[in-house]
Amino acid sequence: MLLLQRFDQSLLGRAEKPALEFERPGAPRLTFTFGDFEARSNRLAALLRQRGLQRGDRLAFFLQNRPEVVDLWLAGVKLGLVLVPVNVLYRERELKHILTDSAPTAVVTSQDMAAFIPVGTEIWDVDALTAEAAALPAERVAEHCDLDTPLSLIYTSGTTGASKGAVLTQRNFASNGETLARDWKFTSEDRYLATLPLFHVHGLANGLHIWLFSGCHMRLTERFEHAKAAEWFEDYRPTVFFGVPAMYIRLLELPPPQARAIGSRLRLAVSGSAPLPAEVHEKFRQLYGSVILERYGMTETLMNIGNPYDGERRPGTVGLPLAHVAVRICDEAGKDVADGTTGEVWVKGPNVCAGYWRRPEATAAAWCDGWFRTGDIGVRAADGYITLQGRRSDLIISGGFNIYPREIEELLLEQPGVREATVVGNPDPVRGEVPVAYLVVDSATFDETAVNARLRTQLASFKQPRAFVRVDAIPRTALGKVQKHLLPRFTAGS
Ligand code: MLC
Ligand code: AMP
């Protein structure tokens, strides 16, 4: 079934049903039916067409979570556009790269965020767009699309090099959403508390699509705020919650009676995007009486592997391959390793993206005989459960956001007085890891405050090194490769 036909089961089939409520600090709660989204996205599609957008054209959005992201997504599906979601925390350097590489017709953003967008980019204000669209007819506007029609370019660094756009097709979103809505037993009666950002695939491909496929109810928040979480859970009474480990760690702070009451209404709590410590899994079970379902996904493949809905949700593991996903654990030569032996996780299935945007070499390097090499290292137990053990690259994951040390290292090396720089992930109790920079500097010219300030304007806040550790030399192998494990251990205050 085509993606739009699948959406139509809610957009047309449940037109009168309450679909979404939206919370934003200091503003009244907004509510929408599925029929509202059908009409809003038709009007928006008509406007985008008037502005000259055609099938295959890119349209970026740089927005916090808000209902207009749903409008854009639906209008994009209807017109066969390629939407480029951009992390709201990205700053000059990241934005410039993504916008140059994807070459969108325009970037849709809000007034408060427009100033971050590089000069020379066509900027469309989201409120102005919505107001203008409201005057257009609500009749369905749609182009013919099939499942191979690209729907989104989502930027990820993959295992190496500059950030690349993964070309995700309508099939990728359709197959993943359909499998999850079924396997996680979603019904139109479910209440989904959506706090994950819609600019990354966990919240977008899993959350948004399961909601549209099942016709359940969603409360969308602008972002996750741990100070508000208790209030949201109490007030909305969700049956389903998706989060990253940092969110679950925050939720452990709630008083036991309140946690127990929330847990009694929650039929499914899903964690992913970073490793969930087994101890958090256990503490959450004790406190909430709910066993977290840990799952594993990535931008290029959407979701791959997950613990079962029915059956054992084994702490520390990511569970079993999804119904439509084939998984191999391979050695360096691409041969399958035996169960119990560590190797790289390779995947194949309708969830895997079509390749990297305009980067045939990177695509050729990441695929082998139709299998996508994830770069994640894992091991399969005899009963099929897979445990992730790390990455081939030195990726840092902070609060579920990915950080490629090289990007920060390159920027540091451009700073006056920095002779050598290397960035590593330091353990953090809430975010899992935070970046720390080790520098060899020329003390006469290096100015830490100025470097810090410069990095803030260039990079997302989560990539900002939490400390600059000055060392006499960066340990290297005879071939010059940095030996990060030999760096002196950093502890706060050291
Ligand atoms: C986070 N911050 C935001 C923000 N989200 N700022 C503005 N808008 C947002 N939407 C910033 C804060 O300003 C702060 O900056 C820092 O992030 C942490 O914020 P916090 O309030 O202290 O939150 P904390 O309790 O630490 O939790 C952080 C978090 C955030 C969980 C809210 O890390 C987050 O939203 N993570 C989700 C990432 C995600 O969706 N990943 C999926 C990738 S897809 P400062 O300056 O203090 O650092 C994927 C594949 C897959 O990986 O399928 O799994
Ligand atoms: P992204 O590029 O943002 O899509 O991030 C994908 C990466 O997040 C994967 O390649 C994994 O390294 C990591 N990841 C996702 N889910 C999990 C999980 N449950 N446990 C450990 N790592 C995870």
Q: How much is the average pLDDT of 279-299? A: 97
Q: Are 208 and 70 in contact (CB under 8 A)?
A: yes
State which ligand 2 atom lies nearest to the alpha carbon of 296.
Answer: 16
State which ligand 2 atom lies nearest to the alpha carbon of 401.
Answer: 3
Q: Are 158 and 300 in contact (CB under 8 A)?
A: yes
Closest residue by CA, ligand 2 atom 12: 376
Neighbouring C-alpha atoms within 13 Å toward the C-beta of 74: 30
The confidence score (pLDDT) of residue 160 equals: 59
**What does the alpha-carbon distance between residue 49 and residue 41 come to, in Å, rounded to a whole number?**
12
| DSSP code per residue over 440-481 | EE-TTT--HHHHHHHHHHHS-GGGS-S-EEE-S---B-TT--
Average pLDDT, the chain: 95
Question: Would the pLDDT of 93 be above 70?
Answer: yes
Q: Which ligand is nearest to the CA of 393?
A: 2
Is 110 strand, coil or helix? coil
Kindly list the protein residues whose Cβ atom lies closer than 6 A to any atom of ligand 2.
Answer: 156, 201, 272-275, 294, 296-299, 318, 374, 376, 388, 391, 397, 402
Q: Are 41 and 69 in contact (CB under 8 A)?
A: no
Q: Per-domain residue ranges for the chain?
A: 3-378, 396-486
Whole-Å CA distances, 59 to 73, 99, 108, 111, 131: 10, 10, 8, 17, 18
The confidence score (pLDDT) of residue 394 equals: 87
Question: In CATH, what is the architecture of 3-378?
Answer: 3-Layer(aba) Sandwich (3.40)
Distance (Å) from CA 270 to ligand 2 centroid = 14
CATH code linked to domain 396-486:
3.30.300.30
Question: Would the pLDDT of 494 be above 60?
Answer: no
State which ligand 1 atom lies nearest to the alpha carbon of 397.
Answer: 52
Distance (Å) from CA 473 to ligand 1 centroid = 33
Q: How much is the average pLDDT of 319-330? A: 97
State which ligand 2 atom lies nearest to the alpha carbon of 395.
Answer: 12
The confidence score (pLDDT) of residue 290 equals: 98
Q: How much is the average pLDDT of 199-208? A: 98
Query: Which of 300, 376, 401 is the pocket-test mutation for ligand 2 (most atoms within 8 Å of CB)?
Result: 376
370: burial class by Cβ within 10 Å (0-12, 13-18, 19+)? exposed
Distance (Å) from CA 255 to ligand 2 centroid = 30
Distance (Å) from CA 197 to ligand 1 centroid = 8
Q: Which ligand is nearest to the CA of 200?
A: 1
Model-level pTM? 0.94
Q: Are 232 and 219 in contact (CB under 8 A)?
A: yes
Residues in the chain: 494
Distance (Å) from CA 91 to ligand 1 centroid = 15
Question: Would the pLDDT of 492 be above 80?
Answer: no
> Residue 33 is encoded by which pair of tokens?
């039916």
Closest residue by CA, ligand 1 atom 6: 89
Distance (Å) from CA 297 to ligand 2 centroid = 6
List 124's β-bridge partners, or say none: 108
Distance (Å) from CA 196 to ligand 2 centroid = 15
**What does the alpha-carbon distance between residue 34 and residue 14 come to, in Å, rounded to a whole number?**
6
**What does the alpha-carbon distance between residue 20 and residue 32 come to, in Å, rounded to a whole number?**
5
Q: Are 197 and 223 in contact (CB under 8 A)?
A: yes
Question: Would the pLDDT of 479 be above 90?
Answer: no
Q: Which ligand is nearest to the CA of 65?
A: 1
Q: How much is the average pLDDT of 389-401? A: 91
Closest residue by CA, ligand 2 atom 23: 274
The confidence score (pLDDT) of residue 161 equals: 62
Among 216-230, 334-348, 392-406, the range scoring the smallest mean pLDDT is 392-406
Query: Which of 24, 202, 374 is the pocket-test mutation for ligand 1 (most atoms within 8 Å of CB)?
Result: 202
For the chain, percent of residues with pLDDT exceeding 90 = 92
The confidence score (pLDDT) of residue 158 equals: 58
The confidence score (pLDDT) of residue 159 equals: 56
Kindly list the protein residues whose Cβ atom lies closer than 6 A to any atom of ligand 1.
Answer: 64, 88-89, 196-197, 200-203, 223-224, 226, 244, 246-247, 250, 272-273, 297-299, 303, 399-401, 430-431, 461-462
The confidence score (pLDDT) of residue 472 equals: 95
Closest residue by CA, ligand 1 atom 3: 89
pLDDT tier, 489 (very low <50, low <70, confident <90, very high otherwise): confident
The confidence score (pLDDT) of residue 490 equals: 87
Residue type, 50: Q
Span 138-168, pLDDT tens digits:
999 999 999 999 999 999 975 556 799 999 9
Within 8 A by CB and 6+ apart from 416, the residues are: 445, 446, 447, 450
- Judge if 3-378 and 396-486 fold alike in CATH terms: no
Span 10-38, pLDDT tens digits:
999 999 999 999 988 889 999 999 999 99
Question: Would the pLDDT of 173 be above 90?
Answer: yes
